Chain A
Amino acid sequence: MTHRLGLAARTIVPGQAAGTEEILVHGVAAVCDPLGGLYLPESGTLVVSDLHLEKGAAFARRGMMLPPYDTIATLNILAAVISRYDPKVVVSLGDNFHDRKGSQYLPADLRAMIGSMARGRDWIWINGNHDPDGTTDLPGVCTDEFVHAGLVFRHEPSLISSQDRARGEIAGHLHPSATVRRRAKYVRRPCFATDGTRLLMPAFGVLAGGLDLNHKAMHGIFDRTALVAHLLGRDRIYSVRYDSLLG
């Protein structure tokens, strides 16, 4: 993840889209960005998921003094993607804050930073399991579910058995990551995961971590024969079919 921290520190030229991967989800064109955002060019929508802002502070409240820099680091990356695409709509797919108190106790400078990012665009906060009550004193709308641009945005993915719900669903929650094995070397990275019908977003927060696509929590989400992992690389997206992850 060091590269994401480093990348955000560099100046991002607006409109530049190096190393991205263009895909279709339920017929809607989408761009997977190596910084972890999904951009829908037709509707000018930027999607990010699982920011887990104030995770450090959430732990500090329980006596573990994690570095208080995770929120600023995550927001720096978010600012970078926003300036890259200048979206009309930003959708944050839930677990926006790591706990219920997160947005309430958010330091003023960080609150202002979100404010300036949201200026001139619509901002949708999807409620997640970590922050089911929505955000406090922040611009934007809080909702459990958002239907927009031919897709449906919710935090937790529906099971594949409920076909209709799953179709065109963009969800987060599971923090997908994938492991690629070649010549006995293993590389594990967060990824966008999609079977063409629906898509799972990688976690955007710098302290969020990942869960392997093989984990049992991922069972019953995808048609695995069509599943592709778009891994976040240093400067680009690497797209690997699920079947050939391990070589």
Chain B
Amino acid sequence: MDLVEPQSSGRDAVLLPRPFLKWFAEKGWQPRAHQLELLARSTSGENMLLIAPTGAGKTLAGFLPSLTDLTRRGKIPPGSAFTGIHTLYISPLKALAVDIERNLMKPVSEMGLAVTIENRTGDTPQAKRRRQKLTPPDILLTTPEQVALLLANKEAERFFRDLKYVVLDELHSLVTSKRGHLLSLGLARLRKHAPHMQTIGLSATVADPSDLQRWLVPQGSKEGEEPAPEAGLVHVQGGAAPEITILDTDKRIPWSGHVSTYAIPEVYEEIKRHKTTLIFVNTRFQAELLFQELWTINDDNLPIALHHGSLDVGQRRKVEAAMADNRLRAVVATSTLDLGLDWGDVDLVVHVGAPKGASRLAQRIGRSNHRMDEPSKAILVPANRFEVMECQAALDANYLGAQDTPPVGEGALDVLAQHILGMACAEPFDPLGLYDEITSASPYADLSWDMFERAVDFVATGGYALRSYERYAKIRKTQEGRWRVSNPQVAQQYRLNLGTIVEAAELNVRLVKRNTKGTVGRGGMSLGKVEEYFLEQLVQGDTFLFAGKVLRFEGIRENECLVSNAFSMDPKIPAYAGGKFPLTTYLADQVRAMLADPHRWQALPDQVRDWLEIQRERSMLPRKDELLIETFPRGQRFFMVAYCFEGRLAHQTLGMLLTRRMERAGARPLGFVATDYSLAVWALNDIGGMIDDGRLSLSDLFDEDMLGDDLEAWLDESYMLKRTFRNCAVISGLIERRHPGKEKTGRQVTVSTDLIYDVLRSHEPDHILLEATRRDAASGLLDIGRLGDMLARIKGHITHRDLDHVSPLAVPIMLEIGRESVPGEAQDAVLAEAADELIAEAMG
């Protein structure tokens, strides 16, 4: 007897229409339990969250409620009244929307369902978009930005009134960003158009599912109103445990740095041993360097490709297509490949550099072996000794199923401003009604009426105390008390500037030929984009790595960076750039715990264990909740190293604040450097001596009150705050990315946001946009939140060791000091020499 039979004829038959049952049977499959549970509960009206590992059939599960409903509804007879879309699928990636269309069409056509499926992204041609508005498909696959665009349209109500399901893919990655904030506001508006629509969230690993469960439902916004019950949860536990190892090497593991060049030959051997290898790195620079190094030893001419967000779209698409066809043996990639794209038969994931977060590691490893019941295989390649510990911690975490996705966070004010303008473009809005709608979105549940009014005022006239722009207002209040756009150009401006992803000013990189006279020609291939700040440090003739080539910088012409082939193997400008992501709190905790517990060192390579042993002899290893401070003289300087393990951003902020305080205390600090693990400050005066004789008190130095006045004073001049301000200014619509008629690049901004920031700060420091900037900075670039938590944690737990010379644990950060400014080739030798001296001193 067929064991599948009773199950499918029982519960399934009720849930699944005949074509589905037939299709499953023909395939020899049976619907999985979680697919059926999700279907049953959605059908009965619940909003749902599905958490499942990659390969668990998440996509089909997410669409089953909608497909079965559409099948029961049947085809809409021609000549019927207008029917809006039935299901909206929203994914963070354009490519994912396209990918899903392909994957979904297959079962739909095999079952012969009369369901229309189309995607709509920034790349969709105008004609198709117009047609979609006239004759919407049943299922529309799209991105958060497109949803915002559709909602800002006058016909939004008609288009969305028949909406039954909203499927949100990769929800864990969407909700934590400003895109998620914008999307949450979009959902609130969709509910207004289609009060009975239901949400289905699909997510990989998350720390706290209840955050997402709440996100998926309307919050009780009006006084006395009960919030909707949080979305139901179907949680599929991971399939086969992944096989993850840390690269076993006899080579010396570097003390510091971010590129694991030592391991290239071993990585290459692994590529040869496997069918298709995905090599993940954290930054574009790492990707470029690794790619180049791999090709230097690629004697077998294996097809190895490069994929990162700055490369030209055309080139990226080529790599993606080759990957899907299994024509590549390896791809070196950054986070552009992070999300759930379906890639050919990857049988190995190599992660170069520490993953910086356990969830990210799980997600990336999920790329290999896209079937749930087979174990995925991954190799971690730490770039330095601290990363060895970090990798081990991440590895332990993966087995434990520990997860560290950041929390959803409070809704950003710049996004709010953008949304308010969008809603005015759709139809004149009643402020009270819109406020209730907005506070029904979970990130904005606590938004005050006062702040909402300030945001509306900001959208209208900039929200300045000096009310001189009334006559130029973008939105105006009608006699009925509704806000409407002043003229059609405002709506056009909104459409051109919508979105929450602000890219650093980037220039297109164009490869040109250098002729004999040394002048450069026009034309040539576009290689991708590079950040303006990177180019600022180049002079003509400098060489650097980009798009897998060593390029010679020729100059900037209009909006383009001109480069020629360098015909050299050694780029002059070093591509060192630390990890883009700071170490997560969870992993930092784990690394601290590992340091404190010698039993756990057994899992570490000998050389790392030795290093820790010697540290224990020469200085000490801090307990898990203790902050170790070491001081020692070196050269003409006195150093202080604090082992905080709170990530580079928080350490940078701490460094700025500490040096101010040390300055006041007379320690005469000269500089500092921050890594993910520690912070080093150097000074002219003997810091250790000052601590010992009481002239400098560590508990005062690290007191939480540094987050008060010192922080304020520093923020005045902070370059990082200006960068944050720029993002807020663009997202909120203060600055246009693109102006109607001049739809070109990010460099259209004809006024420097730095200058605007200075003027605004000196004349209206409590302006809403500065408030938005400070809030962003607290959680983002400055990581003040995390710094505050640490200062509270270490209170009364600071241990000081005054040493005669540098300790083993301090070596990695001491090496970073030299690295910050070393352009040129000859200096590398000098650096290596200096590095060896330092190590001998510490370990000898």
Q: Which residues of chain A (54-102) have a CB below 8 Å from chain B?
A: 55, 57, 59-70, 72-73
- Choose among A68, A107, A179, A184 the residue with the greatest number of B CB atoms under 10 Å from its CB: A68
Contact B762 A2 (CB under 8 A): yes
Q: How far is the CA of A5 from the CA of B765 in the complex (A)?
A: 14
- Choose among A5, A64, A179, A181 the residue with the greatest number of B CB atoms under 10 Å from its CB: A64
Q: How far is the CA of A5 from the CA of B758 in the complex (A)?
A: 8
In the complex where A66-B734, A67-B763 touch, is A209 in contact with B752 (Cβ < 8 A)? yes
Interface extent on A, as a size class?
A: 20 to 34
Nearest-Cβ distance from residue B147 to partner chain A, whole angstroms: 24
In the complex where A2-B717, A206-B759 touch, is A63 in contact with B464 (Cβ < 8 A)? no
Residues of chain B within 8 A of A5, CB atoms compared: 758-759, 762
* Cβ-closest chain A residue relative to B761: A2
The listed residue (A68, A72, A186) touching B462 by CB distance below 8 A is A68
- Choose among B490, B734, B758 the residue with the greatest number of A CB atoms under 10 Å from its CB: B758
Residue A160 at the chain B interface, CB threshold 8 Å: no
Q: Which residues of chain A (1-35) have a CB below 8 Å from chain B?
A: 1-2, 5-6, 9
Residues of chain B within 8 A of A59, CB atoms compared: 751
Residues of chain A within 8 A of B82, CB atoms compared: none
Q: Which residues of chain B (743-792) have a CB below 8 Å from chain A?
A: 751-752, 754-756, 758-764, 767
Contact B755 A207 (CB under 8 A): yes
Q: Contact string, A194-209, partner B, CB cutoff 8 A, digits 1/0?
A: 0000000000001111
Contact A57 B468 (CB under 8 A): yes
Residue A227 at the chain B interface, CB threshold 8 Å: no
Residues of chain A within 8 A of B734, CB atoms compared: 64-66
- Choose among B490, B734, B751, B823 the residue with the greatest number of A CB atoms under 10 Å from its CB: B751
Contact B762 A6 (CB under 8 A): yes
Contact B469 A65 (CB under 8 A): yes
Residue B723 at the chain A interface, CB threshold 8 Å: no
In the complex where A61-B472, A207-B751, A209-B752 touch, is A68 in contact with B464 (Cβ < 8 A)? yes
Residue A152 at the chain B interface, CB threshold 8 Å: no
Nearest-Cβ distance from residue B809 to partner chain A, whole angstroms: 27
Nearest-Cβ distance from residue B559 to partner chain A, whole angstroms: 13
In the complex where A60-B462, A60-B472 touch, is A66 in contact with B762 (Cβ < 8 A)? no
Residues of chain B within 8 A of A73, CB atoms compared: 759, 762-763
Contact B490 A66 (CB under 8 A): no
Residue A246 at the chain B interface, CB threshold 8 Å: yes
The listed residue (A64, A179, A209) touching B736 by CB distance below 8 A is A64
Residue B110 at the chain A interface, CB threshold 8 Å: no
Contact A70 B489 (CB under 8 A): no
- Choose among A70, A72, A107, A208 the residue with the greatest number of B CB atoms under 10 Å from its CB: A70
Residue A185 at the chain B interface, CB threshold 8 Å: yes
The listed residue (A6, A63, A70, A107) touching B490 by CB distance below 8 A is A63
Contact B751 A209 (CB under 8 A): yes
Q: How far is the CA of A66 from the CA of B466 in the complex (A)?
A: 12
Nearest-Cβ distance from residue B502 to partner chain A, whole angstroms: 15
Residues of chain B within 8 A of A206, CB atoms compared: 755, 758-759
Q: How far is the CA of A70 from the CA of B751 in the complex (A)?
A: 12
Q: Which residues of chain A (123-149) have a CB below 8 Å from chain B?
A: none
Q: Contact string, B465-496, partner A, CB cutoff 8 A, digits 1/0?
A: 01011001010000000000000011001000
* Cβ-closest chain A residue relative to B493: A63
Compute the total of residue contacts between A and B using a CB distance below 8 Å: 97
Residues of chain A within 8 A of B466, CB atoms compared: 68-69
Residues of chain A within 8 A of B820, CB atoms compared: 184
Residue A183 at the chain B interface, CB threshold 8 Å: yes
* Cβ-closest chain B residue relative to A66: B756
In the complex where A62-B739, A64-B736, A184-B823 touch, is A69 in contact with B759 (Cβ < 8 A)? yes
The listed residue (B474, B493, B755, B763) touching A209 by CB distance below 8 A is B755
Contact B760 A69 (CB under 8 A): yes
Q: How far is the CA of A35 from the CA of B348 in the complex (A)?
A: 61
Residues of chain A within 8 A of B754, CB atoms compared: 1
Q: How far is the CA of A209 from the CA of B751 in the complex (A)?
A: 7
Q: How far is the CA of A72 from the CA of B760 in the complex (A)?
A: 12
* Cβ-closest chain B residue relative to A212: B536
Q: Which residues of chain B (792-842) have a CB below 8 Å from chain A?
A: 820-823
Q: How far is the CA of A179 from the CA of B537 in the complex (A)?
A: 10
Contact A246 B759 (CB under 8 A): no
The listed residue (B463, B751, B758) touching A66 by CB distance below 8 A is B751
Contact A65 B751 (CB under 8 A): no
* Cβ-closest chain A residue relative to B536: A186
Q: Which residues of chain B (695-740) have a CB below 8 Å from chain A?
A: 716-717, 734-736, 739
Residue B261 at the chain A interface, CB threshold 8 Å: no
Residue B619 at the chain A interface, CB threshold 8 Å: no
Q: How far is the CA of A64 from the CA of B736 in the complex (A)?
A: 7
- Choose among B490, B536, B539, B763 the residue with the greatest number of A CB atoms under 10 Å from its CB: B763
Residues of chain A within 8 A of B146, CB atoms compared: none
- Choose among B736, B759, B820, B823 the residue with the greatest number of A CB atoms under 10 Å from its CB: B759
* Cβ-closest chain B residue relative to A62: B739
* Cβ-closest chain B residue relative to A216: B557
Q: How far is the CA of A106 from the CA of B739 in the complex (A)?
A: 25
Contact B760 A63 (CB under 8 A): no
Residue B461 at the chain A interface, CB threshold 8 Å: yes
Q: How far is the CA of A246 from the CA of B353 in the complex (A)?
A: 34
Contact B821 A65 (CB under 8 A): no
Contact B759 A67 (CB under 8 A): yes
Contact B472 A65 (CB under 8 A): yes
Contact A63 B537 (CB under 8 A): no
Residues of chain A within 8 A of B736, CB atoms compared: 63-64
Besides A1-B755, A65-B474, A207-B752, 6 new A-B residue pairs in contact (Cβ under 8 A), listed by A number: A66-B756, A69-B466, A70-B759, A72-B763, A209-B751, A246-B539
List the interface of chain A (C-beta within 8 A of B).
1-2, 5-6, 9, 55, 57, 59-70, 72-73, 107, 179, 181, 183-186, 206-209, 216, 246
27 A-B interface contacts by CB (under 8 A): A1-B754, A9-B762, A60-B461, A61-B472, A63-B474, A63-B489, A64-B734, A64-B736, A65-B461, A65-B462, A65-B472, A65-B474, A67-B756, A69-B759, A69-B760, A69-B763, A73-B762, A183-B821, A185-B821, A186-B536, A206-B755, A206-B758, A207-B752, A207-B756, A209-B755, A216-B557, A246-B539
Listed from nearest, the 8 A-B pairs whose CB atoms lie closest are: A65-B462, A184-B821, A69-B763, A60-B472, A67-B760, A68-B468, A60-B469, A5-B762
